[in-house]
Amino acid sequence: MNSEEAARKLGVDPASLAPAPPAPRFAQFWARMQKEPPCSACGQPSRTSGVIHDPGHGSRWLDRCRECFLATPPTLPVPPGRFFEELRGVAADARLRLRTYTDEDGWEGE
């Protein structure tokens, strides 16, 4: 799920979130995570930070603790199978040895 869906699922009111830049750089995410702001949903120390874009409130920081993050996992932009196919192709083109592990099939490439 995306950050906006995660905020809705966790019952977070965008008005209660701190303003954020529309497109933060990695350094801005990292600086925020180093401060460990409270989780936007439950108040525990956060482990991840993201940005939601709310029509009524603009860009806002969404901070999640481990448990709230695991309850609202991000969606990959492509299916995992396709991602691994493309990753294997890139590794082969670069002549790199690639080993992947999945819970279902174990190690591949050995």
Query: How many independent structural domains does the chain possess?
Result: 2
In terms of domains, do 67 and 81 share one? no
Q: What percent of the chain has pLDDT over 90?
A: 70
In terms of domains, do 63 and 106 share one? no
Q: Which is more confident, 105 or 53?
A: 53
Q: What range does the domain containing 91 cover?
A: 76-110
Stated pTM of the model? 0.69
In terms of domains, do 56 and 89 share one? no
In terms of domains, do 63 and 29 share one? yes
In terms of domains, do 80 and 40 share one? no
For residue range 30-80, what is the model confidence (pLDDT) as tens digits? Answer: 999 999 999 999 999 999 999 999 999 999 999 999 999 999 988 877 887
In terms of domains, do 56 and 24 share one? yes
What is the C-alpha separation between 85 and 47, in angstroms, rounded? 30
In terms of domains, do 61 and 80 share one? no
- For residue 6, pLDDT over 50 is answered with yes
